[in-house]
Amino acid sequence: MTIRSTLFSGFIWLLATCLTGGCTAHRGPEVVQIAPGQYQEAFSTAVALVRAKGWEPEIMDRRSGVIETGPFQTGSLFEPWHLNTEDMPTIVENTLSTTRTKVRIEFRPANQSRLAQSGRTEIDRPDFIGVEDMPDLTGTTTPLDLRAWVFIEHGHRPNIMRSTWNPSLKSTPKRTGYDPTWEKPPSGTFWIPTSRDRSAERKLLGNIEQALQTNQHIQSEPTQPGS
């Protein structure tokens, strides 16, 4: 596929998305209510959907209700099949810069106050070896709230000066006084967290909620005799 055909395909996809109402952000839930006894299924569904969208889970703790993924390169207008968001400004930003995303999913007891809403308390020492009691959600009988965070990271290449006349021209300054024993200049791409993709968060939560409702509907259907 040539560059011209790729640009044309991206333009056609952008036009079709805008005409079908896809230029606005995805309207999904900010919090998904998990019924008592549905936690195990919801956790497995969240892991499966995260993997299906390209993120690979690195932390899957059923006891504390936390799922964290590794980074995943975001899609662009030239690669719409890799997009996990429907927010057009975010899609344009992903096209013009190098970005990647990470996902964090948390299950918490329903109506639990967040850290930002809690009162002033004394900061305890960190529990590095897990001595303190942690809430075990595997046997919970209370409703849970499911939330998702999609963090955007921008990639930067240090010590690269690009030409203002031609983007393909660039130069790298030579560092003097470099001692390989004590110093190591930055090399490669380093990633800086910049913002959150709230459209992707709502889209992911909406997909999880829809999958849970579909599974519940299938399980509630009566079986036909002789089937």
- Residue 201 burial (C-beta neighbours within 10 Å; 0-12, 13-18, 19+): buried
Q: Is the overall model pTM greater than 0.75, yes or no?
A: no
Q: Report the C-alpha gap between 171 and 188 in whole angstroms.
A: 15
What pLDDT is stored for residue 73 in this prediction?
Answer: 83
Please give the pLDDT value at position 219. Answer: 61
What pLDDT, on a 0 to 100 scale, did the predictor assign at position 79?
72
- Residue 226's pLDDT is what? 53
* Tens digit of pLDDT at every position of the chain (227 positions): 555 555 555 555 555 555 444 455 557 889 999 998 899 999 999 999 999 988 999 999 999 899 999 998 887 777 766 676 767 777 777 777 788 899 999 999 887 655 445 566 676 666 565 555 667 888 888 899 999 999 999 887 776 766 666 666 666 666 665 666 666 656 677 888 988 988 889 989 999 999 998 876 666 655 555 54
Q: What is the DSSP string of the chain?
A: --HHHHHHHHHHHHHHHHHTTTTSPP---SSEEE-TT-HHHHHHHHHHHHHHTTPPEEEEETTTTEEEE--EEPP-TT-GGG-----HHHHHHHHHS-EEEEEEEEEEETTPPPGGGS---PPPPP-SS--S-----TT--S-EEEEEEEEEEEEE-TT-EE-SS-TT-EE-PPPPS--TTT-----S-EEEEEEE-HHHHHHHHHHHHHHHHHHHHHHHSPPPTT-
Question: What would be the CATH architecture of the domain defined by 24-111+134-162+188-217?
Answer: 2-Layer Sandwich (3.30)
The pLDDT of residue 21 is: 47
* Cα–Cα distance, 87 to 25 (Å, whole number): 4
